Amino acid sequence: MLELHLPWLELAILTPLVGVVVSLFNKNAEQTRLVAIVFSGLSLAMGIGAWEDFNTLKVFEAHDRWDLVEPLFGPDVVVIDEFNAPLLALTSLMFFLTPLATLRTKIKRFPFRMNLISQFLMLSTLACRGPWIIISLMGLQTLPIVWELRTRGKSSRGFVIHMGLFLVLLIGGWSMIDLEDPSHEHSIAAIMLLTLAILIRSGCAPMHCWMTDLFEKASLGSSLLFVSPMIGAYAAVRLLLPVAPDWAMRIVALASLFTAVYSAGMALVQTESRRFFCYLILSNASLVLVGLEVVTPIGLTGALSTWIAVCLSLSGFGLTLRAIESRVGRLSLNDYHGLYSQMPLLATFFLLTGVATVGFPGTVGFAGIELIVEGAVEVYPYVGMAVVIATALNGIAIMRVYFRLFTGTIYQSSFCMEARWPERVGILVLSALIIGGGIWPQPGVKSRFHAAKEIMSRRETHTQAETDKHATLSAIPDDDMIAPTKREQASHTLTVE
């Protein structure tokens, strides 16, 4: 495997940890916020550097130069490939913009130090290909959230129960796969345990209660950063997709499809802004899983493209909602608020990111949604229809919330509620990516298509290898077949004598 020219990958992962150490010497929240912005920004720069360095190699995968983790975990555990390269940069961007857009009135309530720890864990997971390391990191990702809930005096019981069940199922399923004979098909029990674990972590209904509970009790920024990178979908690609048979993929696809339509319908009737946003994330993340489990080149390309688009658009949507809440508090959707006159820039960005999540033409999500529908129709026609229904319901829900928040009346305020310059920076960056990716989608779709072909090739190679081993073992006669032949030879010898 080729090496990057510089150790970009490990620098991007370890930089947030350095920020955690530096923040321990800070005496106030403002200094901690500044440290979080600086070191998450440095990690973003390293992630972009790793992506650009990787693109110059013209290969599917590469590992860091001077790989420091190889003596501990073995070769090629931390890698960058066409699948995770944009995810690393995008996740770093989200962790950079969140503290940057945090207003000074909220800095005492947002856990900047835990934000850096979460960034380290997320980047480590996305850069890792070792199954047991991925499982361990996914378990550690839950600790900052539990700490924040306890710090805020909120109950963490629902979150802990769901994440504990997820880890038990994941560890149990992968342990069984490790213990099973690789020359035979994996047992139904092992595959079912892995499938259920992925569905819980992805928030598929009816195992989605932990996500709505999280958005209601934790800070909106922390909830957004825990959910929007779609680590459940990443685990599906790295752990489930290579070993699962077609029937397991169909189970995940059907569960995800039901969740997409159900969550879109729930988003349409919510009366509280956070719950609406939670169901919007659930619906869009489930559409990504639908494309992943269709397992066709077009469907998988659409899923990977939509993954990037949903992360971008929902991150911007969540940051906009967070900015509005920091000015007027939590929002009820029973009344009209008329906030457009006070914050026209935030209102415009709210609408832009909202329509981008449903694949509006000219935005980054358009190509991905079209490819998911086309790929799904080729395999299951009703799946394509359900995807269209879910997308339409999401679009209606977004427009309903936009009119509730920004129209209907005139909001009177004694202070300026316009976007501050850090928020303007985030709006400018995300708007450029959303519109630029919609106007010029070819590079992104081409990259996702290459990644989809390689993922499918590895899945087919694994399946074919198991089939060949099974056929080879079946062709070898056992002792019961050989023994009669020896007895016949002995009998023939005695007869001749």
The per-residue pLDDT for 436 is 93
pLDDT digit string, tens, across residues 349-387: 999 999 999 989 999 989 998 888 888 777 777 888 899
Q: Are the C-beta atoms of residues 42 and 93 closer than 8 Å to each other? A: no
Q: Domain ranges in the chain?
A: 1-128, 130-464
Name the residue among 426, 397, 170 with its Cα closest to residue 263. Answer: 397
Q: What is the pLDDT of residue 497?
A: 38
How confident is the model over 129-182, as pLDDT tens digits? Answer: 889 999 999 999 999 999 999 999 999 999 999 999 999 999 999 999 988 876
DSSP element (H, E) containing 402? helix 381-406
More confident: 124 or 61: 124
pLDDT at 488 over 70: no
- Which of 417, 444, 399 is closest to 302 using CA atoms? 444
Record the pTM: 0.89
For 227-241, what is the mean pLDDT? Answer: 91
pLDDT for residue 72:
67
Indicate the average pLDDT of the chain: 86
How many Cα atoms sit within 13 Å of 238 on the Cβ side? 26
- Amino acid 248 reads A
Tokens encoding 68: 């420091």
For residue 322 the two structure tokens come to 């967070």
pLDDT at 67: 67
User: Measuring CA to CA, which residue among 72, 140, 324, 376 is closest to residue 220?
Assistant: 324
Collect contacts of 156-163 with beta carbons under 8 A, ≥24 apart: 156/217, 158/209, 158/210, 158/213, 159/210, 159/213, 159/214, 161/210, 162/200, 162/207, 162/209, 162/210, 163/139, 163/201, 163/210
